[in-house]
A and B are shown apart, each in its own frame.
Chain A
Amino acid sequence: MIETLRRTAVEAKARLAEVEDLDALAELDVEFLGKKSAVTLAKRRLGSLDPGQRRTAGQAVNEIRAEIETAVESARGRLAQAARVLQLEAERLDLTEFRKKARRGSLHLVTQSRDRLEDVFVGMGFTVAEGPEVESAWYNFEALNIPEWHPARGSFDTIFVDLGEPEEVMLRSHTSPVQIRTMEKQKPPIYIVAPGRTFRTDTADATHLPAFNQIEGLVVDRGITMGDLAGTIDEFVRAFFGGDVESRLRPSYFPFTEPSAEFDISRADGTWLELGGCGMVHPNVLRNCGIDPDEWQGFAFGFGIDRLAVMRHELDDIRELVNNDVRFLRQF
């Protein structure tokens, strides 16, 4: 009996190994393990054996049944795996078809530059101040030690506004009015930068715009020296442009600072690039804001933001910054 059973088991395993769908598997399950299967019948017949044989035979029947059961499970697993493979294959997608459907927008280049500048100065202990773009002659000129007759006024190429007396109201020609507004409402110590839009009667061309952007710095504290100015510029330049870029100051003239300087940064080829102007806040400017120049000293600096973007991205036409062409905007 056991021998017959073993042959049945071999046959069952062979057929289960080749079964190709779940229905056929169910039939084989009934045929080899069901109520009328040889294994079940053999188990039922065990009772008729004498006790000596019953134990050995019982063990053998159970082993055979377990063998067939394992073969059924294995076939079931094999079929499930095959079905899964088929299903996944049916769901196959070419993901490259779906690229670039969603788009994040772009921050404007000027914003990107301005944010980077603000972050560097914030790291150096500065806060960010802002002011209006339309200013009075007091804030744009007079409080900055540029009286009405001063030749420097002409050099600002100011755009005036039809308000007040002639040349009394203007689009600010630099961010320096924010110095005055800050000092009027805040007592020293003052450590601010003031980024913002500025305006001049420059005809738009590849390197000029009538509306452009500057950032201004102002420090007023006890015992501030020109060495502090040079050191601050140097620290900023290294933080913003990289550690191997150097800075230098050259004598210059601005009515609102004294001593005044231009500051340059070094280029890889050993030459220098003029970046902006700076100097020690003129005592008259401090006095105009009610600050005693014998108690407080300060420095100020300023430079163009747009040019940094132009340099960084090698723009050959600055007008792109205001053209709002998406083919330009989306590059950054």
Chain B
Amino acid sequence: MRVTLSWLREFAPGIHGDPVELSETLSALGLTVEDMTLIGDVVDGVVLAKVLDLRPHPAADKIQLVDVDAGDGEARQVCCGAFNMAVGDLIPFAAPGTVMPDGLKIQQRKMRGEVSAGMCCSGAEIGLSDDHEGILVLNDRVVPEAELGMGVAAAIGAEPDVLWDLEVNANRPDAMSVAGVARDLAAALGVDFSFPDYRVADDGSRNDEDADELLTVEILDPTLCGRFAATVLRGVTVGASPQWMADRLELAGMRPVNSIVDISNYVMLELGQPNHTFDLAAIPNGRLRVRRAVPGERLTTLDGLERDLAAGDGVITNESDVIVSLAGVMGGANTEISEQTTDVLLEMAWWDPPTISRTVKRLNLVSEASSRFRRGADWGESIDRSIQRFVQLAAQLGATAVSGFVDAAGNTPDRSPLSVRSAKVNGLLGTELSATEMAGYLSSVGFGAEVVTSDRGAEDLAVTIPTWRWDTETETDVAEEVARLHGYENIARTVPRGELPGGLTDYQVRRRSVRQVLVGCGCDETFPMPFLAPGDLLRAGLEDNGVTLSNPLVAEQSVLRTSLLPGQLKAIAYNQSHRSFDLRFFEIGHVFLPPPTGRLLPDEREHLAVALAGEEAPQAVAALDLLERELGLPNVVLRSASPPGLHATRSAEVLVAGRVAGVVGEVDPLVLDNYGVAGPVAWLELDLGGLLGGPRRSRKYSPVSKYPSSDIDLAFEVSDEVTAAAVEGSLRKAGQALLAGVELFDVYRGEAMPAGTRSLAYRLRFQAHDRTLTDSEVADVRRACIDAATRRDGVCLRGLV
């Protein structure tokens, strides 16, 4: 919402002061100042001048030579980069020595060999408009007494003014108007606020006709329309608006169109009341009806588009039930004001906000009018006042008003007094305001507020909420209003202390540990967005079952990931293409599997991925081992598998406590090709939720033996069918309590080994807790271990290493 100081002062002449301080006051009221511009505050030294001659610059195409007369009759040559003026035009001119608003000091200088003795100015350069293009031509704007050499502000009769661009919250329909902003600001400053008298003097601009005899309005659905007032203007000439109105509309951000449209917009901006004008000639017998649309109905709106209407949309029809307007949103082309229009039917109505909201959203038809109706316009006196104001402005352009207006009523919100407990208000805000103080705040912005004594003897309030505050209806709403006017800054600050201790959950603590372990082994944490392109999952060898987005920004971001793999591969490809190698990445993020049957939301899980570019599967296994230790994972087992997307013979499923918790290995070379990644890439992906939420290994102390240990090395010839884990399992089972440690210290494949086998060499450490083992005890347990290992098919002893 854009407002000017001068416009505000028409409602509250007491508003004045430093613009920056006024901005602070507006922001403290919740009318956040997004931008403030000082306008018409033209610097000294910029004077009215006349263009005497225009000539090409002999040495430059993009500038021309201009002779100007700045009041002394002398022709001063200026080099100018704009070409929009003609000989005889009046323009703003800054002579050498002038300091411009941006701090630039104008100096006489030479440009490409030609003297330039000053500067012709654009509107933006002197703060008179936003226009940076071209020189501001003032021919039509100078006052009669203007003379060349006069300060520009005086020459065009400009008063210094302030333009504010305010952010208005959705609960403040009243502040979508100049008058509403003035009411708030006047209350905060403690100055008077009132509406000017808009009644048209009985001087011939009113005729003898009575609106009641010309118009009939029927509200068929009272839930749609709370009030529908209408009147007629005769003898309307559709033409250009007066300059002052056009200027204000432009400052407010609206483009002047023609006199009727401009008055309509002006009244809406000034008083907050959206309105609509029909060509009376297109409304047979002046009869209008208000109802909801039925499916299949259509209307060509003012913008020329034919719109499909939906059940529930509000419409206005003529007496033959032909739709003439999409209520509160946009008028119909069939009743549009044209240059031939002489008689205008003026509508001032109040529409049900949710209805307008639904229509606006469905048709994506946001307008200044509908955005006011959606927030809840005023159904009270504002409608009467806005009709008066419209008629008054139209009368100034020669239109004649009929007497009065028709006024049909539907359902409007209940505005009987609301009981407000002052203790509840203070209890919510943390204040100690008396009921009288609260009443003072409320009445300063037009609330009715009466102090009443409750049954319990407390001083409470009976509050009548004004009709311009549709969104305000409860005790809490009133408390907010009290807080706003009391000033948020005046509420004493306290800090609550809950009885419960703060802290991270076990899961959160362990997740942080995971990050520290991975960072400690040189991995960088990545954070891709969770969106994928269609086909990304297939290219990663994964099932193409990602949940899709209904309104993606771009197709490349239209699918939700089911695995962290595609995102990591993209990150690796991106870095490799920028000649960064040695990439060790990890990520913790959500993945989204299709919803289980009967569920609405996806099966959402938090995953951990580790991607080591240039490394093979063993490095991923090493990362898993580090996490196993850090997290105390119980019974981590690798089960041979070919998980989707991974290298078929270099990958495994990770089982933790018997449940599949993820995959480990290497990315499928075909997938790497699909993503343009130079491989290999070692890969680990775990379901962190399952992992950290599950059981963990006992942290109970086990005593350290005080007795010497014996180390025995054994090498086995092991078929490729048998895993090292299986061999180790046999050794551990046989060694039982005496086996203090097993280390696979050498793996050998090569010519010395029969095809399809490899050598696995283990160092076994035997030790007891209660004695030194004898040689024969060691020999026995060694034998047992060998027997156990070689009992498996495909395992035989190679001999001592």
Interface residues of A (CB under 8 A from B): 102-108, 110-111, 115, 118, 121-128, 132-136, 147-155, 159-164, 166-169, 171, 189, 191, 197, 201-204, 209-211, 219, 221, 223-228, 230-232, 234-235, 248-253, 255, 258-262, 280, 282-283, 297, 321-327, 329-330
B592 within 8 A of A: yes
Using C-beta atoms within 8 Å of the partner chain, give the interface range for chain B. 35 or more
B354 within 8 A of A: yes
- Whether the Cβ atoms of B526 and A105 lie closer than 8 Å is no
B528 within 8 A of A: yes
- Whether the Cβ atoms of B553 and A252 lie closer than 8 Å is no
Flag the segment in B571-579, B741-749, B777-785 that touches A. Answer: B571-579
- Whether the Cβ atoms of A226 and B528 lie closer than 8 Å is no
Q: How far is the CA of A115 from the CA of B590 in the complex (A)?
A: 18
Q: CB-nearest residue of chain A relative to B370?
A: A151
Shortest Cβ distance from A142 into chain B, in angstroms?
14
Chain B contacts with A in 501-557, Cβ cutoff 8 A: 501-505, 508, 512, 515, 518-531, 547-553, 557
Contacting B600 at CB < 8 Å: which of A121, A136, A231, A232?
A136
Contacting B508 at CB < 8 Å: which of A104, A128, A167?
A128
Interface residues of B (CB under 8 A from A): 27-30, 32, 169-172, 353-355, 357-358, 361, 371, 374-375, 427-431, 474, 476-477, 479-480, 483-484, 488-489, 491-505, 508, 512, 515, 518-531, 547-553, 557, 560, 571, 574-575, 578, 580, 583-586, 590, 592, 595, 600-602, 604
Shortest Cβ distance from A241 into chain B, in angstroms?
16
With contacts A125-B500, A251-B28, A258-B480 known, is A105 near B518, CB below 8 A?
yes
A210-B529, A259-B428 known, 20 other contacts, Cβ within 8 Å: A105-B584, A105-B586, A107-B515, A107-B519, A110-B527, A132-B590, A149-B353, A151-B375, A154-B361, A163-B595, A169-B600, A169-B601, A210-B531, A230-B491, A251-B30, A255-B170, A259-B484, A262-B32, A297-B428, A326-B583
Q: How far is the CA of A48 from the CA of B602 in the complex (A)?
A: 113
- Whether the Cβ atoms of B429 and A225 lie closer than 8 Å is yes
Q: How far is the CA of A235 from the CA of B497 in the complex (A)?
A: 12
- Whether the Cβ atoms of B530 and A326 lie closer than 8 Å is no
- Whether the Cβ atoms of A201 and B551 lie closer than 8 Å is yes
Q: How far is the CA of A327 from the CA of B494 in the complex (A)?
A: 45
Q: Which chain B residues border A128 with CB–CB below 8 Å? A: 504-505, 508
Q: How far is the CA of A211 from the CA of B551 in the complex (A)?
A: 14
Q: Which chain A residues border B427 with CB–CB below 8 Å? A: 223, 225, 297
Q: How far is the CA of A128 from the CA of B495 in the complex (A)?
A: 19
- Whether the Cβ atoms of A159 and B551 lie closer than 8 Å is yes
Contacting A211 at CB < 8 Å: which of B474, B476, B531, B571?
B531
Q: Which chain B residues border A255 with CB–CB below 8 Å? A: 170
Q: How far is the CA of A203 from the CA of B590 in the complex (A)?
A: 22
- Whether the Cβ atoms of A163 and B547 lie closer than 8 Å is yes
14 contacting pairs across A/B (C-beta < 8 A) = A105-B521, A105-B522, A108-B527, A118-B508, A128-B505, A133-B590, A134-B592, A149-B361, A202-B553, A209-B529, A252-B169, A255-B170, A258-B480, A259-B484
Contacting B502 at CB < 8 Å: which of A105, A107, A191?
A191
Shortest Cβ distance from A289 into chain B, in angstroms?
16
- Whether the Cβ atoms of A152 and B170 lie closer than 8 Å is yes
With contacts A105-B522, A127-B503, A326-B524 known, is A210 near B553, CB below 8 A?
yes
Shortest Cβ distance from A227 into chain B, in angstroms?
3
Q: How far is the CA of A167 from the CA of B503 in the complex (A)?
A: 36
Q: CB-nearest residue of chain A relative to B592?
A: A134
Residue from the set A153, A166, A329, A330 with the largest chain B CB neighbour count within 10 Å: A329
Q: CB-nearest residue of chain A relative to B516?
A: A107
With contacts A107-B515, A258-B476 known, is A127 near B526, CB below 8 A?
no
With contacts A163-B601, A164-B600 known, is A126 near B502, CB below 8 A?
yes
Q: Which 3 A-B pairs have the closest CB atoms?
A: A227-B430, A251-B30, A225-B430
- Whether the Cβ atoms of A122 and B547 lie closer than 8 Å is no
Q: How far is the CA of A326 from the CA of B524 in the complex (A)?
A: 8
Shortest Cβ distance from A98 into chain B, in angstroms?
16
Q: Which chain A residues border B29 with CB–CB below 8 Å? A: 251
- Whether the Cβ atoms of A163 and B522 lie closer than 8 Å is no
Q: CB-nearest residue of chain B relative to A330?
A: B524
- Whether the Cβ atoms of B504 and A230 lie closer than 8 Å is no
- Whether the Cβ atoms of A133 and B477 lie closer than 8 Å is no
Shortest Cβ distance from A2 into chain B, in angstroms?
60
Contacting B604 at CB < 8 Å: which of A133, A262, A323?
A133
Q: Which chain B residues border A189 with CB–CB below 8 Å? A: 498-500
Q: How far is the CA of A135 from the CA of B602 in the complex (A)?
A: 9
- Whether the Cβ atoms of A136 and B601 lie closer than 8 Å is yes
- Whether the Cβ atoms of B488 and A261 lie closer than 8 Å is yes
- Whether the Cβ atoms of A231 and B494 lie closer than 8 Å is yes
- Whether the Cβ atoms of B169 and A149 lie closer than 8 Å is no
Shortest Cβ distance from A41 into chain B, in angstroms?
54
Q: How far is the CA of A33 from the CA of B562 in the complex (A)?
A: 88
Shortest Cβ distance from A332 into chain B, in angstroms?
10
Q: How far is the CA of A250 from the CA of B188 in the complex (A)?
A: 14
Contacting A324 at CB < 8 Å: which of B357, B479, B528?
B528
Q: CB-nearest residue of chain B relative to A219?
A: B496
Shortest Cβ distance from B426 into chain A, in angstroms?
8
Q: Which chain B residues border A224 with CB–CB below 8 Å? A: 496
Q: CB-nearest residue of chain A relative to B424?
A: A294
Q: How far is the CA of A122 from the CA of B590 in the complex (A)?
A: 24
